[in-house]
Amino acid sequence: MTAITTKIVRDHGLNEAEYEKIRSLLGREPNLVELGVFSVMWSEHCSYKSTRAHLKKLPTKAPWVLQGPGENAGVVDIGDGDAVVFKMESHNHPSFIEPYQGAATGVGGIMRDVFTMGARPVAMLNSLRFGEPSHPKTRHLVSGVVSGIGGYGNCMGVPTVGGEVNFHRSYNGNILVNAMCVGLARRDNIFLSAAKGAGNPVVYVGSKTGRDGIHGATMASAEFNEDSEEKRPTVQVGDPFTEKLLLEACLELMATDAIIAIQDMGAAGLTSSSSEMADKGGAGIVIDLDKVPQREINMTAYDMMLSESQERMLAVLKPGREAEAERIFRKWELDFAVIGVTTDTHRLIVKHKGEVVADMPVNALSDAAPVYERPFVKRAPATGTPSFDASRPVMESLLKILAAPDMCSKRWVWEQYDQSVMADTVQMPGGDAAVVRVHGSNKGLAMSTDVTPRYCRADPYEGAKQAVAECWRNLTAVGARPLAVTDCLNYGNPEKPEIMGEIVAGIEGLGEACRALDFPIVSGNCSLYNETQGEGILPTPTIGGVGLLKDVNRMATIAFKREGDAIVLIGEPKGHLGQSVYLRVVEGKEEGAAPPVDLAVEKKNGDFVRGLIEKGRIDTVHDVSDGGLLVAVAEMALSANIGAGVRLKYSLDTFISLLFGEDQGRYVLAVPTDEADRIVADAAKAGVYAQQLGYTGGLSEREGPVLHGVGIPPIALTKLRAAHEGWLPTYMKA
Amino acid sequence: MKSAVVVFPASNCDRDAAVALEQMTGNKPHMVWHADSEVPDVDLIVLPGGFSYGDYLRCGAMASQSRVMADIKDKADKGALVLGICNGFQVLTETHLLPGALIRNAGLKFVCRPVGLEVVETQSSFTRKYSHGQRVVFPVAHGEGNYIADEETLDRLEGEGRVVFRYAKGESPNGSARDIAGIINEKRNVLGLMPHPERVCDPLLGGTDGRALFESLIEALT
């Protein structure tokens, strides 16, 4: 057997102290298989060794939370015996190396996390961040990632209903692909991964094991450098056809009571699924690798334990139920093999060709994994209000903003995704939140992914708060009660104190906002080491939120519904231009303080707006976020092809900041005028800022519907639409 | 009206079709597994959308060899009504129940969006409740819906009133010959179309233009 040298230890991403710890836990030198197992289980990706101490501070509980972090996905009660199961996960590093397969397997992996809990996936969202458009790799990466997400999700027959696509130079060498899956289950039929009890059969189902993806988790836990492209063999290859069969077969088996525990084989494959199930169940496990279905010949124990071949699951069954389970998997033409048994030894024992090739205490791989209190430095937040040219013509700026890469319509992307399969998508991409009906009922699930990384760079704490608040606001804007959050914390190298400072402040900001908004975190992951050649990405704590609509017939959308409605702003305009889209796009500056989030005001304003929707008093709402007020009104007009007139009280030096400022906690409503008066009066009583801004409608004889107003020369919606819809397809064609 | 929906491995619009059928006809359809030897005695057989066998080979090619397809061919020859939607249309061309083929979209990308269609032919059990030339909107969701056939076949299809749905002018999502979205066989009992009528039977889902297709079938069968 290979002797373990310092170089081998280093190549496995373990440092000397960690290796010493392994030796003392085993009471001997590990062999190569064991070293490989430790290296993936102790990798940042699997062990959260840099963040675990901080993540503990996040709020994870509420009366409606059925399952918080620690399982394959979070579970939330939505009444009537239904439960929503969801999680978001990153697939950043593989997607940069091989965009199609990286993104596709990201989608496949997160879907397995959801259906392994007993839920049928009903929606996908994707939060994507690419380098600047002028970077030579960006177009190729956008094209590959979008095709990969579509290729996998479309074949699975799960609608992709929302997400984000942004561009910034900090992602030039390290894109972000964060995929979120939302599923539905019955609350009394949730499956967990705790392999309780000894003597139960351990079964392997799904695809055969190959050599693909060996050490993917370790790769995802290191910085990128110029040799990263050589890591292409560590990227897995997706097979959505097999996954679709696996989904149906698992749900069919789950309708019986044969399963004790089940977990998908994701990062670190057979290693993590077997050791985590044993660990959570307080059991041991013995695996015989000769029984593992194999795609290639001469695979070693090391290969099999570290393979990240996709579309595989490990389950522990009740004894005697193997034949029944096998019949189901054979019907779906999938591999099925009993590969081991649970024990009461608390050890993970791996056999190959009649010999024990690994024998480790289960908790050495989990609880005993290192936890680092890494040193951190909190950078002072950026402050101040940057200067701007108050004389710039408003409409030229609006056109520029609507056509900016971050702000333009992402139709080119979402039209490559099947958004309406499963025939329950009642709100498609393009609004504040997507809404999918709970099949067979009038309830709806609203979902959104949000984060504004430029705010997080300026102020990691306020930026993280803002990400949660914006997500909560987007769910509220369609009329949903926000329920819970999954997060994907994308940051740079935690071994650098400034980056660790961003992470710590970010987690504090998330916690603060989630507590204030009663919006607990039920699942998520961390993706660290997102750097290339020493340059960290913008801090990007992506928030995926899910909310519940009691009745999808009472739902708001952003499109104007009628001409002559009053346009009402909820939430005070203070003209905060620091870190705004306006500054970035029009003035070419990424400067100033991030907009502060007053969580009490956020909650009060949101509760007021949601109440109006629930009572059926309003049907047209849009949150005010990137780009500010005028952009929000323009988007509402474009969605409906109905014009709008905006009248703001202003002085010349505040006009631009009022129109384009990114103050938080705000919504624009459109509502018949008599009701608008009542709403403004009710808002005053509730202590909520409300102001009538103007009216929907406005036609030019030659140009059709127009956007106009005091100090705003009329501009045809056709012209705004051309700018808004044109940028992305033009860019991708070039 | 009694119906059946065939489920191939990785069909994924089978549930959507079943929901629409139940909603429109009041009867739950039989779900028929591809490996079954025959379809029960029904008035309508639906081949649903999806990615049968992953569509790793030509779309529909593997499914066309499924065991149940022999019975469906037989029943279609005897006059049973067969509706193929999206992947189902691809299966029908692969089994030669319909002429021509569906190739990669001209834009080389999967396209999902609502598309305007013209109902060209109302002399069929599938479309009698539409008016001739009526404009309807159905969503499409496919990567390979670009209909091709030789000129002679296309002329024949048009001459015999067998082009049933056409993409409205300028709205073709895939580059199909003569903007063809759906065709019917010579005996007028087998219809294939790429757009999804089953996804527009509920106003909450963006329209009800698909309902008339099911209403036509109900009327034809009673």
- What is residue A11's predicted lDDT score, i.e. its pLDDT? 87
Residue A26: Cβ-neighbour burial (10 angstroms; 0-12, 13-18, 19+): middle
Q: Do residues B66 and B72 touch, judged by C-beta distance below 8 A?
A: no
**Residue A420 in contact with partner chain B when CB distance is under 8 A:** yes
Partner residue opposite A423 with nearest CB, options B10, B54, B199: B199
* H or E stretch at B22: helix B14-25
Could you tell me if A200 and A319 are in contact, meaning their C-beta atoms sit under 8 angstroms apart?
A: yes
Mean pLDDT of chain A: 95
Angle of CA points A705, A707, A711, to nearest 5°: 145
The stretches of A517-619 forming alpha helices (DSSP H) are 581-582, 599-614
Reported residue count of chain A is 734
pLDDT of A235 > 80? The answer is: no
What ipTM was estimated for this complex?
Answer: 0.97
- Choose among A240, A420, A422: nearest Cβ to B139: A420
Closest CA relative to residue A346, chosen from A393, A284, A437, A289: A284
The residue-averaged pLDDT of A146-164 equals 98
pLDDT, tens digit (0-9, with 9 covering 90-100), for B114-132: 999 999 999 999 999 999 9
* Tokens (6 digits) for A213: 């993806």
Question: Is pLDDT above 70 for A231?
Answer: no
Query: Is residue A278 within 8 Å of A195, Cβ to Cβ?
Result: yes
Residue A225, pLDDT score: 59
Catalytic hit among B13, B59, B86, B201: B86
* CA pair distance A56, A42, nearest whole angstrom: 18
Neighbouring residues of B200: CB distance < 8 A, sequence distance ≥ 6: B137, B138, B139, B206, B207, B208, B209, B210, B211
Within 8 A of B21 by CB-CB distance, chain A residues are none
Q: Please tell me what DSSP assigns to residue A525.
A: E
Are the C-beta atoms of A138 and A131 separated by less than 8 Å? yes
pLDDT of A227 > 90? The answer is no
d(CA A108, CA A110): 6
Give dist(CA A71, CA A74) in Å, integer.
Answer: 7
Residue tagged 């065709």 (tokens): B183
| Spatial CB neighbours of A627, under 8 Å, sequence gap ≥ 6 | A401, A402, A407, A580, A581, A582, A660, A662
CA distance linking residue A224 with residue A173, whole number of Å: 8
Gyration radius of chain A's alpha carbons: 26
Q: List the single best residue of A100, A111, A410, A420 to mutate versus B (max B Cβ within 10 A).
A: A420
Residue A352's DSSP bridge partners are A355
A12, A45, A352, A724: the catalytic one is A45
Q: Does the annotation count B86 as an active-site position?
A: yes
pLDDT beyond 60 at A229:
no
Both tokens assigned to A556: 């708001």
What is d(CA B179, CA B162) in angstroms, rounded to the nearest whole number? 13
Nearest chain B alpha carbon to A152: B54
Nearest CB to A157 within list B50, B143, B204: B50
Please tell me whether residue A65 adopts helix, strand or coil conformation.
strand
pLDDT at residue A532 in the model: 75
User: To which H or E segment does residue A240 belong?
Assistant: helix A240-254
Contacts of B112 in chain A (CB under 8 A): 154, 414-420
Mean of pLDDT values over A227-245: 78
Test B141 with A421 for CB contact under 8 angstroms.
yes
CB-facing half-sphere around the CA of A376: CA atoms within 13 A: 20
Q: Cα–Cα–Cα angle for A34, A38, A39, nearest 5°? A: 115
Alpha-carbon distance B217 to B126, whole Å? 5
Contact A66, A520 (CB under 8 A): no
Share of chain A residues as helix, strand and coil, in percent rounded to the nearest 5: 35, 25, 40
Residue A545 has pLDDT above 90, yes or no: yes
Q: Which residue has the tokens 């056409």?
A: B166
Average pLDDT rounded to a whole number, residues A435-459: 98
**CA–CA dist A142, A415 (Å, integer):** 14
- Tens-digit pLDDT profile for residues A318-363: 999 999 999 999 999 999 999 999 999 999 999 999 999 999 999 9
Q: How confident is the model at residue A535 (pLDDT cuts 50, 70, 90)?
A: confident
Question: Is residue A218 pLDDT above 70, yes or no?
Answer: no
CA-to-CA distance for B34 and A160, rounded, in angstroms?
27
Select from B68, B71, B66 the least CA-distant residue to B53: B66
Residue B32's CB: how many other CB atoms inside 10 A? 22
Report DSSP state, residue A565. Answer: P
Question: What CA–CA distance (Å, rounded) separates B27 from B141?
Answer: 27
CA distance B160 to chain A (A): 33
Q: Are strands A444-450 and A704-709 parallel, antiparallel or unpaired?
A: unpaired
What are the tens digits of pLDDT across the range A261-313?
Answer: 999 998 778 999 999 999 999 999 999 999 999 999 999 999 999 998 999 99
Interface touch A552/B202, C-beta < 8 Å: no
Cβ-contact A83, A553 below 8 angstroms: no
How many Å lie between the alpha carbon of A635 and the closest alpha carbon of chain B? Answer: 19
Reading the block at residue B89, the tokens are: 């249309």
A233 Cβ contact list (under 8 Å, min separation 6): A212, A214
Distance CA A182, CA A125 (A): 8
| Distance between CA atoms of residues B2 and A715, nearest Å | 56
Q: How confident is the model at residue A257 (pLDDT cuts 50, 70, 90)?
A: very high
How many angstroms separate the first and last alpha carbons of chain A?
55
Distances (CA, A) of A664 to A97, A575, A618, A625: 37, 10, 21, 7
Instruction: Give the pTM.
Output: 0.96
**Strand blocks (E) in chain B:** 3-7, 30-33, 44-47, 81-85, 101-103, 111-119, 135-142, 146-148, 163-167, 180-184, 190-193
pLDDT band at A226 (very low <50, low <70, confident <90, very high): low
The CA-atom distances, in angstroms, between A339 and each of A212, A242, A277, A335, A352 are 20, 20, 14, 12, 11
A441 touches chain B (CB under 8 A): no
| A244 and B CB contact within 8 Å | yes
pLDDT at B206: 87
Asked if A329 is an interface residue toward chain B (Cβ–Cβ < 8 A), one would say no
Torsion, Cα A414 A418 A419 A422, to 10 degrees, reads -170
Quick: pLDDT tens for A600-641. 999 999 999 999 999 999 999 999 999 999 999 999 999 999
Q: In what order do the strands lie in the sheet with B180-184?
A: B30-33, B3-7, B44-47, B81-85, B190-193, B180-184, B163-167, B111-119, B135-142
Q: Distance of alpha carbon A237 from its chain centroid, rounded?
A: 21
Q: Please identify which residue in the block is written with the tokens 């024998």.
A: A359
Among all residues of chain A, which has the CA nearest to that of B86? A421
Q: Which residues of chain B, if any, have pLDDT below 50?
A: none
Q: Is A265 helix (H, G, I), strand (E, B) or coil?
A: coil
Judge: B16–A437 Cβ closer than 8 Å, yes or no: no
Using a CB-CB cut-off of 8 Å, the residues of chain A touching B204 are 426, 437, 552-553
Whether residue A219 has pLDDT greater than 60: no
Query: Is the CB of B204 less than 8 angstroms away from the CB of A420?
Result: no
Distances (CA, A) of A472 to A184, A240, A485, A551: 21, 32, 9, 19
Residue A123 to residue A161: CA distance in whole angstroms: 6
CA dihedral A136, A140, A143, A147 (to 10 degrees): -160
d(CA A463, CA A135): 26
Segment A655-714, tens digit of pLDDT: 999 999 999 999 999 999 999 999 999 999 999 999 999 999 999 999 999 999 988 899
Please name every residue paired with A408 in a beta bridge, in sequence order, or none if there are none. none
Dmax (CA) of chain A:
86
SS (H, E, C) A684-708: HHHCCCEEEEEEECCEECCCEEEEE
> Is A332 in CB contact (< 8 Å) with chain B?
yes
* DSSP, residue by residue, A13-55: T--HHHHHHHHHHHTS---HHHHHHHHHHTSHHHH-TTTHHHH
Q: What is the largest distance, in Å, between two alpha-carbon atoms of chain B?
A: 43
Phi first, then psi: what are they for B164, rounded to 5°?
A: -95, -40
**Structural tokens at position A733:** 């064609």
Q: In terms of CA atoms, which chain A residue is nearest residue B140?
A: A418
Which residues does chain B have within 8 Å of residue A239's beta carbon, measured at their own beta carbons?
54
Q: Is A149 on the interface with B (CB under 8 A)?
A: no
Question: Known catalytic residue: B201?
Answer: no
Residue B131, judged by CB atoms within 10 A of its CB (0-12, 13-18, 19+), counts as: exposed
